[in-house]
Structure 1
Amino acid sequence: MEPLGTCTALLLIGIISFLLLSAIWNSKMYRKGRMPPGPTPLPIIGNILQLKGKHWDQAFSKFSEKYGPVFTLYMGMKPVVVLHSYEAIKEALVDQGNDFSNRPKLLLTEKPRKGRGIIFSNGESWQLIRHFTLTTLRNFGMGKKSIEERIQEEARYLLEEFHGTKGQPFNPDHLFTYANAGVICSILFGKHYEYDDKKFQTLTALLVENVQIFTSIWAQLYNAFPALMEWVPGPHQHITPNYAKCREFVWKEAKEHRATLDPNSPQDFMDCFFIRMDQEKHDEASEFTMENMIDCCVELLAAGMETTSATLQYGLLILQKYPEIEEKVQEEIDRVVGRSRMPGMADRGQMPYTDAVVHEIQRSLSIGSMALPHAMVKDTPFRGYVIPKGTTIIPVLISVLHDSKEFPNPKEFDPGHFLNEDGTFRKSNYFMPFSAGKRNCAGEGLARMELFLIFTSILQNFKLKPITDPKDIDITPVVKPIGRFPRPYKFCVIPR
């Protein structure tokens, strides 16, 4: 019995020592560089338990009330600085954008990408690929179709699907997903996929699943405790194999493009990337490689598809709840656009109410309640503190989008948040659903065009008919740790 008692005592001493060392380590990390204040972390697990499962934005709001707009949390044993106000986020991401412009190295994103792509890469690779992507999208004069024309073309396919419902109840979720993925595929590959194409359906399902997992508690635990979660079964284990299958899809498209490439007449994003690859083929250090192109395309699909489709889905739910808003939007569409042509981006300036409604849909949903995490490029003075190099930064975008000083009654849906007293459109610096600064969404311009053109095209052609009493429609989003999504629903559309 004595050896057993000795082993038990040694085990207890070992556990206690480990906990004490963890507490000391946390304390040292907390003091390093004069970090911002925050709640006391527990050994090993940090402040995870205080984040209350999936309602992280509410927990962050309460921490902010106590510790101010800049505070420190521990995700496991890693310190994280949280930015929880417009002023703090602007000061960090815009005014000191260079210092806050890295991405943290997280196993969840590093494992499938290995530092490639546009969203989670750093340094010169990120700068070159991002600049190329922004320039290519901005100057999309390639081929015979502009981006606006490609969106309008995809909107026609979507309208056909809506007509095909023949006034019967349906869930628009998949149709919006296919439409938005179709727009991005048209830009990337110059190709339209039929909505019943099995390979296309598989691609979109994999991308949607990864977005849902990435915003879930499983992914956040994986990032906080990678060594442990690597061995724990759960949805987080699907991200890497799902990503690999998406890469296979894009790889096949790339092989076809390479075989038919005409350097004098690029038709899409992939053609432009291949041309740049050929221009730098003798540069062994070039970032324009096949691997980087594949990851860039997958990321553009993932980033632009689910967020835009979910926003459109939420927008139509809102209008069912408030039919008077739908009527005002349709009156403006009829007056400015009419019924004989599709809406265009040139119409937006003459449609302040519709523009305000689209902005309010994005603000109200706040689909990205937190921006993708940033990381410090170097030890950086900030608001009287010094944040060490490599520290993860979480900008809480919902703290800006739901700021009661800028948007009175922020939890209420009110297009007046974006209208002046004379009915003209009111711009707001607090409108940052795409984040801000050097790491803001590269596809922001594309997403804005999609939302306006697809939203107005639907309302130009259809009257929305809810299947329940409007007062019983629940518009509160489904909340996840770093995302908010519309609740599933069915409705009917009646041709106007």
Structure 2
Amino acid sequence: MWTSGTLIAAVLSVLSLCFLKRLWSRKNYPPGPLRLPVIGSAWRILINFSLDSFIKLAKDYGNVYTIWAGNLPVVVFSGFEAVKEAIIKHSEYFEERPVSPFFEAIGEQKGIVFSNGQIWKQQRKFGLVTMRKLGLGKKGIEHQIEEQAHQLVQTFADAKGQPLDPIIPIMNSVTNVISALTFGQRFSVGDEEFLKLREALFAFTKFAGTLFHFLYDLFPWIMKQLPGPHKKAFAGRDFIASFARKEIKKHKAYGAVQEPQDFIDYYLLQIEKSNRDPNSTYNEENLLQCIIDLFSAGTETTTSTLTWALLLMANYPDIQEKVQKEIDEVFGSSQSIFYEDLKKVPYTNAVIHEILRFKCIFLFGVPRQCSKDQNMLGFFIPKGATVIPDIRSVLFEPEKWETPQKFNPNHFLDKDGRFVEREEFLIFGAGARVCLGMQLARIELFIFLTKLLRSFTFQPPEGVKKINEESVLGMVTSCYPYKISAIPCNNGS
């Protein structure tokens, strides 16, 4: 007769055999940390989470390795050659987005960022075409950016050289650029709904990539029942959606789709054109998610980069001075600078690229999913596996960069001071999923930064030798809150 002790031993034996059998069936996967029941091998990252966690794992297990998030294999490609192999040479096998519990909850597999298949192809194509129609890369959108840059300059001028926390005014200006592009209007920074939108974006975007994000994906059935920052993230997403629905309703009531002025107008026109196409994915649900995608992807990233840029200019005054000197020599008293002028200022261009590299705002590349079983770089990559291209590892690879751990604009200059494009510069990703807003971000960074540096010299507050350069960890790595003094230039515009 079975005793309780015998029964427990039998159950444990069966579970152990099943676990070992599963391990054996996946023995050809890339190597990685010890995989434990339930939590997998994610423990290795969680116990000492840092900016370099993934780079350290590559040193232990090679440039292709596996982290098990519970029962889900996550294959990480580290270093330029491995990342290039995955997302450039074999981009067609890694163009899908994984459907994790958190991304499923916030994206619902709609829109551009979190969708796959026909929905993704149509929404992304529409997004690219519409961006061009709205003047992306031309002077249309640049006018909106220049207006916001002027407002930002005025905010710093009003401080009269006194220390100021730059993140809120920067985020106001960047959010208004997306508002102009999407809704066709900018908002007063004192507008109550605009302030709520900004706070919702902050709560939503700051959650991704945090410890609670990982815990939510590992234990969604538990986390849904518990309080925590994930609740604020979902509330933020819901507010953005509510805000967008109101704007869509206003646009429909106004009836301007025959003469579209913004993203919503163009999308509503596309819905009207496609209403008899059975294969069309153009509908208000996808429009709503596209708007959320544009705001969430286009505000936090550019805001963080510009905040890092001012911090670095204050901490490296010699580099700031060289940029100001080049801008003054090339543009003189000219009031307007356009993106096409970037080629005239190679040092400034190099500094912007080095800011993006040195303070890479992504902890790792945006996850993708393998669409079919693959043998790559000597390893088996199973269909359905989540794939992470570790962009940070590429931007800090010692074999590719002369001084990867130092802020050095010479990484993008030749011996004659000419700007040099680097194929290792993958901050915007590559392949089929390359960042949709790449061109918009480039234009914003150039116009905002040149406008600010023509007007001010940025310094740490009195008594502060150097502003803290440590990063706040998350999917987007931002700097710690700081204050900075904007000293007016004699030739400030």
TM bucket (normalised to shorter chain) is over 0.9
Q: CA RMSD in A?
A: 2.2
With normalisation by structure 1, the TM-score equals 0.93
Aligned to 1:186: 180
With normalisation by structure 2, the TM-score equals 0.94
- Give the C-alpha shift of residue 145 in structure 1: 6.6
Are 1:426 and 2:426 matched, yes or no? no
CA change 1:30–1:461 in 2 (3 A) is: same
- Give the C-alpha shift of residue 56 in structure 1: 5.0
Aligned to 2:16: 20
- Of 235, 239, 242, which residue of structure 1 is paired with 2:233? 239
Alignment of 1:33-432 (within 5 A): 34-53=28-47, 55=49, 57-141=51-135, 146-432=140-426
Once residues 465 and 61 of structure 1 are traced to their aligned partners in structure 2, the CA distance between those partners, rounded to angstroms, is 33
Secondary structure in 2 aligned to 1:342?
coil
Q: Which moved more, 1:436-445 or 1:259-268?
A: 259-268
CA change 1:90–1:469 in 2 (3 A) is: farther
8 Å CA contact 1:322–1:470 kept in 2: the answer is no
- Give the C-alpha shift of residue 432 in structure 1: 1.1
Q: In percent, how many aligned pairs have the same letter? A: 36
Once residues 476 and 98 of structure 1 are traced to their aligned partners in structure 2, the CA distance between those partners, rounded to angstroms, is 37
1:4-28: CA deviations, max 9, x gaps? xx76x48954873575256336404
Once residues 29 and 51 of structure 1 are traced to their aligned partners in structure 2, the CA distance between those partners, rounded to angstroms, is 24
Secondary structure in 2 aligned to 1:354?
helix
Once residues 164 and 235 of structure 1 are traced to their aligned partners in structure 2, the CA distance between those partners, rounded to angstroms, is 35
1:149-202: CA deviations, max 9, x gaps? 111111112112122222221101111111111111101111011111111111
8 Å CA contact 2:182–2:262 kept in 1: the answer is yes
Once residues 232 and 148 of structure 1 are traced to their aligned partners in structure 2, the CA distance between those partners, rounded to angstroms, is 45
Once residues 149 and 358 of structure 1 are traced to their aligned partners in structure 2, the CA distance between those partners, rounded to angstroms, is 21
Once residues 261 and 79 of structure 2 are traced to their aligned partners in structure 1, the CA distance between those partners, rounded to angstroms, is 43
- Give the C-alpha shift of residue 368 in structure 1: 0.8
Aligned to 2:477: 484
Once residues 241 and 92 of structure 1 are traced to their aligned partners in structure 2, the CA distance between those partners, rounded to angstroms, is 35
8 Å CA contact 2:258–2:269 kept in 1: the answer is no
- Give the C-alpha shift of residue 453 in structure 1: 0.7
Secondary structure in 1 aligned to 2:236?
helix
Once residues 220 and 17 of structure 2 are traced to their aligned partners in structure 1, the CA distance between those partners, rounded to angstroms, is 20
1:106-143: CA deviations, max 9, x gaps? 1111123321110010001101100110111123249x
- Of 450, 454, 457, which residue of structure 2 is paired with 1:456? 450
8 Å CA contact 2:91–2:432 kept in 1: the answer is yes
Q: Which amino acid aligns with 1:246?
A: I
Once residues 284 and 393 of structure 2 are traced to their aligned partners in structure 1, the CA distance between those partners, rounded to angstroms, is 39
CA change 1:141–1:454 in 2 (3 A) is: closer
Q: Which amino acid aligns with 1:92?
A: A
Once residues 368 and 446 of structure 1 are traced to their aligned partners in structure 2, the CA distance between those partners, rounded to angstroms, is 18
Structure 2 unpaired stretches of 5+: none
CA change 1:41–1:148 in 2 (3 A) is: same
CA change 1:10–1:146 in 2 (3 A) is: farther
Q: Which moved more, 1:360-369 or 1:46-55?
A: 46-55
Q: Which amino acid aligns with 1:27?
A: L
1:359-391: CA deviations, max 9, x gaps? 111101111121111001111221232311110
Q: Which moved more, 1:51-60 or 1:429-438?
A: 51-60
Aligned to 1:3: none
- Give the C-alpha shift of residue 57 in structure 1: 4.6
CA change 1:18–1:293 in 2 (3 A) is: farther
- Give the C-alpha shift of residue 54 in structure 1: 6.1
CA change 1:169–1:59 in 2 (3 A) is: closer
- Give the C-alpha shift of residue 67 in structure 1: 2.2
1:438-466: CA deviations, max 9, x gaps? 11211011011101110111001112132
1:414-454: CA deviations, max 9, x gaps? 11111111001111011111111111211011011101110
Q: Which amino acid aligns with 2:441?
A: A
Q: Which moved more, 1:100-109 or 1:51-60?
A: 51-60
Are 1:493 and 2:486 matched, yes or no? yes
Once residues 156 and 94 of structure 2 are traced to their aligned partners in structure 1, the CA distance between those partners, rounded to angstroms, is 44
8 Å CA contact 1:19–1:43 kept in 2: the answer is no
Once residues 394 and 463 of structure 2 are traced to their aligned partners in structure 1, the CA distance between those partners, rounded to angstroms, is 32
Once residues 255 and 332 of structure 2 are traced to their aligned partners in structure 1, the CA distance between those partners, rounded to angstroms, is 41
8 Å CA contact 1:310–1:486 kept in 2: the answer is yes
Q: Which moved more, 1:382-391 or 1:288-297?
A: 382-391
Once residues 404 and 470 of structure 1 are traced to their aligned partners in structure 2, the CA distance between those partners, rounded to angstroms, is 32
8 Å CA contact 2:251–2:264 kept in 1: the answer is yes
8 Å CA contact 2:174–2:303 kept in 1: the answer is yes
Once residues 11 and 196 of structure 2 are traced to their aligned partners in structure 1, the CA distance between those partners, rounded to angstroms, is 47
Number of equivalenced pairs: 487
Secondary structure in 2 aligned to 1:472?
coil
CA change 1:53–1:448 in 2 (3 A) is: farther
8 Å CA contact 2:187–2:194 kept in 1: the answer is yes
1:243-266: CA deviations, max 9, x gaps? 111100011011111122334421
Once residues 200 and 209 of structure 1 are traced to their aligned partners in structure 2, the CA distance between those partners, rounded to angstroms, is 14
- Give the C-alpha shift of residue 105 in structure 1: 0.7
1:296-345: CA deviations, max 9, x gaps? 01111000101111110111111111111111111111111223413211
Once residues 52 and 108 of structure 1 are traced to their aligned partners in structure 2, the CA distance between those partners, rounded to angstroms, is 18
- Give the C-alpha shift of residue 30 in structure 1: 2.4
Q: Which amino acid aligns with 2:243?
A: F
- Give the C-alpha shift of residue 233 in structure 1: 2.8
Q: Which amino acid aligns with 1:267?
A: Q
Q: Which amino acid aligns with 2:429?
A: S
